[in-house]
């Protein structure tokens, strides 16, 4: 309960500072709208916001799920097959060295303005933290456990399934937490670069028309997305890994 | 079975007609055979000309060593002399080119169970499932094994916690779980690498007694730092010394393990062992 209380205090404090700045510098609404202006947007145009949230939400969830799946899959493959590791690892690192913003327009050209390019950008951002963390976890399985399993007659795959994967869960959890914050970002980047709907698209349009209050409303929705996703993932991981004492956030 | 009868003839004096005692003995052995088919077979282990080196550091070279079947062989020695490495070599965990022969000509790999200083209990499995981990791993878990594990856990006084997770247990309890897991593997040869090194004196003594009871008549190779532990449990005690390492003269305490801690011969032998260990320590530096 303490965490919710602290969150609420923090939220109110931020609102207060925001309002304070608006008052103090007499800023017009097209530079910095006050919290009331933004609340007005939520009140007056709920349909618009909801309507544009749905494509972003779908892209985020699909991208996050697919990215997690690919990330986990890549980590297992890289761990199991040494030749694949030597070929795949550099490729994975290269995929991260390319700035997402720079390749996003390319993806839009190749995959169109729809959902596909957003999901791909999202997957690109999400899978690497998961692969990297999970692979580390798989390798960090205590030697004593592996020795025991070897003597007990476990082959490589069974050791992976019964020993290394559960042992890597805490690492995987930290990877997926990072990924859960990246996922909405990936979807928004996709929409910024080129899309026909979504929160990023709405933001871009509103920005061009100096509807800064709409921009802020959109930003708040994105923040809530990211927070809720992180919260769900965090709780899920704590439930799945009861042996690891995770301090609450 | 023919093989079994042949060993009978070798072991027991008999005429052309088997007499009653042999038949009785046979019946008894069959009972053991049923319980644990591997116990009756002879699995003396012989290591000839063992060599283990890490780059320039030669731990041992041309080392000969035998482990007698159904007895407990203890290896003592100063840290870094290569005791654990020898044990790991036997367990097949250390790459080596030594021939290890077992008298029954079966691969040693399939006949061993191993227990280390680290209890290696898995935090996501319950105590019961930890003791059954070998069967879970090999996917041959049956209800009978499950019941056997429950019975063993009850025997070592852990009935109340079979569904608890290992991290809720004390060090001594964890080591008891690891011991039950080792027993559950039902292997004739047991390799123990300082299994109780991390425990307090009282838990240690209790666990030694338990170990001797649960693993009676198995072939045990126990690496330890504790002279008293070796004297309580061992039929044959070797001190490993020097670099490359070799073995000092064997010490054979009288009587069956677990020997009582107030056994006077143990105190005398302990003095002798400590002296051998001091010399061994000096031989390393």
Range of lowest pLDDT (A54-58, A195-199, B18-22, B230-234): B18-22
Of B93, B136, B185, which is closest to A162 when you measure between CB atoms?
A: B136
Mutate to test the interface with A, among B107, B130, B133, B141 (most CBs of A within 10 A): B133
**Is A173 an interface residue toward B (CB < 8 Å)?**
no
Higher pLDDT, A3 or B282: B282
A152 with B138: Cβ contact below 8 A? yes
Whether B130 has a pLDDT exceeding 90, the answer reads yes
Query: Is the Cβ of A165 closer than 8 Å to some Cβ of chain B?
Result: no
Do A144 and B116 count as a contact with CB atoms less than 8 A apart?
yes
Q: Which pLDDT band, with edges at 50, 70 and 90, does A245 fall under?
A: low
pLDDT at B237: 93
Report the percent of chain A where pLDDT is more than 90: 56
Contact B227, B276 (CB under 8 A): no
CB contact under 8 A, B165 and A142: no
* A154 contacts on B by Cβ (under 8 Å): 137-138
Q: DSSP characters for chain B? A: -HHHHHHHHHHS---SS--HHHHHHHHHHHHHHHH-TTSSS---EEEEEEEEEETTEEEEEEEEEEE-TTSEEEEE--TTSSHHHHHHHHTT-S----EEEETT-S-GGGGEEEE-SS----TTS-HHHHHTHHHHHHT---HHHHHHHHHHHHHTT-GGGTTS-GGGS-HHHHHHHHHHHHHHT--SEEEEESTTTTS-HHHHHHHHHHHHHHTTTSEEEEE-S-HHHHHHH-SEEEEEETTTTEE---B--SSPSSPPTT-HHHHHHHHHHHHHHHHHHHHH-
A151 touches chain B (CB under 8 A): yes
A243–B114: do the CB atoms touch at under 8 Å?
no
| Cβ-defined contact of A151 to B93 (cutoff 8 Å) | yes
pTM: 0.79
Chain A contacts of B138, Cβ < 8 Å?
152-154, 158
Task: Tell me the chain B residues in contact with residue A155 when contact means C-beta distances shorter than 8 Å.
Answer: none
| Residues of A with Cβ-Cβ distance to B122 under 8 angstroms | 145, 163, 166-167
Residue B24 pLDDT:
40
Residue of A2 and A207 predicted with greater confidence:
A207
Contact (CB<8Å) B93/A147: yes
A239 touches chain B (CB under 8 A): no
How far is the alpha carbon of B111 from chain A, nearest alpha carbon, in Å? 9
Per-residue model confidence as pLDDT tens digits over B175-221: 999 999 999 999 999 999 999 988 888 889 999 999 999 998 899 99
What are the tens digits of pLDDT across the range A112-170? 888 898 999 999 999 999 999 999 999 999 999 999 999 998 888 899 999 999 999 99
Instruction: Please check whether residue A240 touches B, CB under 8 A.
Output: no
Higher-pLDDT residue of A47, B8: A47
Average pLDDT, chain A: 89
A243/B185 CB distance under 8 A: no
Q: Tell me whether residues B134 and A152 touch, CB distance under 8 A.
A: yes
Residues of chain B whose C-beta is under 8 A from some C-beta in A?
88, 91-93, 109-110, 112-114, 116, 118, 120, 122-124, 133-134, 136-139, 165, 167, 185
Rounded to the nearest angstrom, the minimum Cα separation between A145 and chain B is 5
Contact criterion met (CB < 8 Å) for A147 and B167: no
- The per-residue pLDDT for A90 is 86
pLDDT at B27: 40
| Mutation for testing the A interface, residue in B137, B174, B179 having most A CBs under 10 Å | B137
The predicted pLDDT at position A108 comes to 86
* % of chain B at pLDDT higher than 70: 85
Question: Rounded to a whole number, what is the distance in Å from the CA of A106 to chain B's nearest CA?
Answer: 45
Instruction: Give the 3-state DSSP-derived string for chain A, with helices as H, strands as E and coil as C.
Output: CHHHHHHHHHHHHHHHHHHHHHHHHCCCCCCCCCHHHHHHHHHHCHHHHHHHHHHHHHHHHHHHHHHHHHHHHHHHHHHHCHHHHHHHHHHHHHHHHCCHHHHHHHHHHHHCCCHHHHHHHHHHHHHHHHHHHHHHHHHCCCHHHHHHHHHCCCCHHHHHHHHHHHHHHHHHHHHHHHHHHHHHHHHHHHHHHCCCCCHHHHHHHHHHCCCHHHHHHHHHHHHHHHHHHHHHHHHHHHHHCCCCCCCCC
Contact flag B110-A243 (C-beta cutoff 8 Å): no
**Alpha-carbon distance B93 to nearest alpha carbon in chain A (angstroms):** 7
Measure A243 CA to nearest chain B CA, in Å. Answer: 6
Q: Which of A103-112, A239-248, B19-28, B53-62 has the highest mean predicted lDDT (pLDDT)? A: A103-112
> Minimal Cα–Cα distance from A157 to chain B, Å?
10
**CB contact (8 A) between residue B123 and residue A243:** yes
pLDDT at B174: 94
CB pairs under 8 A between A and B: 60
Residue A167 is predicted with a pLDDT of: 93
């Amino acid at each position: 309960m303490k965490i919710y209380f602290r969150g609420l205090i923090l939220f109110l404090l931020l609102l207060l500072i925001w309002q304070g700045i608006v008052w103090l510098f007499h800023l017009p609404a097209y530079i910095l709208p006050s919290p009331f202006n933004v609340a007005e947007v939520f009140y007056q145009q709920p349909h618009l916001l909801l309507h544009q949230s749905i494509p972003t939400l779908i892209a985020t969830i699909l991208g996050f799920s697919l990215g997690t799946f690919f990330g986990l899959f890549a980590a297992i493959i890289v761990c199991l097959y040494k030749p694949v590791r030597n070929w795949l690892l550099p490729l994975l690192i290269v995929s991260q060295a390319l700035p997402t913003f720079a390749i996003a327009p390319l993806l839009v050209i190749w995959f169109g303005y729809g959902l596909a390019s957003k999901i791909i950008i999202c997957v690109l951002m999400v899978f690497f933290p998961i692969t990297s963390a999970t692979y580390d976890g798989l390798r960090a399985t205590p030697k004593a456990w592996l020795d025991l399993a070897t003597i007990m007659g476990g082959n490589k795959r069974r050791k992976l399934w019964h020993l290394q994967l559960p042992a890597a869960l805490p690492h995987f959890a930290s990877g997926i937490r990072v990924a859960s914050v990246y996922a909405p970002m990936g979807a928004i980047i996709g929409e910024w670069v080129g899309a026909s709907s979504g929160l990023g698209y709405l933001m871009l349009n509103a920005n061009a028309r100096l509807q800064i209050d709409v921009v802020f409303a959109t930003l708040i929705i994105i923040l809530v997305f990211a927070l809720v996703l992180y919260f769900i993932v965090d709780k899920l991981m704590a439930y799945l890994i009861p042996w690891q004492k995770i301090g609450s956030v | 079975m023919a093989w079994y009868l042949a060993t009978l003839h070798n072991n027991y004096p008999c005429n052309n007609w088997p007499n009653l005692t042999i038949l009785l003995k046979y019946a008894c052995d069959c009972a053991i055979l049923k319980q644990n088919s591997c116990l009756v077979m002879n699995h003396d282990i012989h290591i000839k000309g063992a060599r283990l080196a890490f780059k320039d550091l030669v731990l041992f070279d041309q080392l000969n060593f035998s482990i007698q079947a159904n007895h407990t062989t203890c290896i003592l020695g100063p840290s870094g002399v290569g005791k654990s490495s020898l044990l790991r070599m036997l367990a097949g965990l250390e790459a080596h080119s030594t021939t290890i022969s077992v008298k029954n000509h079966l691969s040693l790999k399939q006949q061993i169970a191993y227990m280390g200083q680290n209890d290696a209990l898995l935090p996501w499995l319950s105590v019961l499932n930890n003791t059954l981990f070998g069967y879970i791993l090999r996917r041959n878990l049956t209800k009978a094994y499950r019941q056997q594990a429950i019975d063993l856990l009850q025997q070592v006084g852990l009935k109340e916690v079979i569904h608890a997770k290992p991290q809720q247990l004390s060090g001594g309890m964890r080591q008891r779980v690891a011991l039950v897991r080792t027993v559950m593997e039902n292997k004739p040869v047991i390799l123990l690498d300082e299994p109780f090194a991390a425990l307090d004196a009282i838990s240690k003594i209790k666990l030694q007694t338990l170990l001797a009871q649960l693993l009676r008549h198995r072939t045990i190779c126990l690496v330890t730092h504790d002279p008293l532990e070796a004297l309580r449990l061992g039929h044959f005690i070797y001190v490993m010394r020097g670099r490359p390492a070799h073995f000092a003269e064997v010490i054979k305490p009288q009587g069956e393990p677990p020997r009582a801690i107030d056994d006077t011969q143990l105190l005398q032998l302990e003095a002798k062992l400590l002296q051998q260990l001091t010399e061994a320590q000096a031989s390393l530096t």
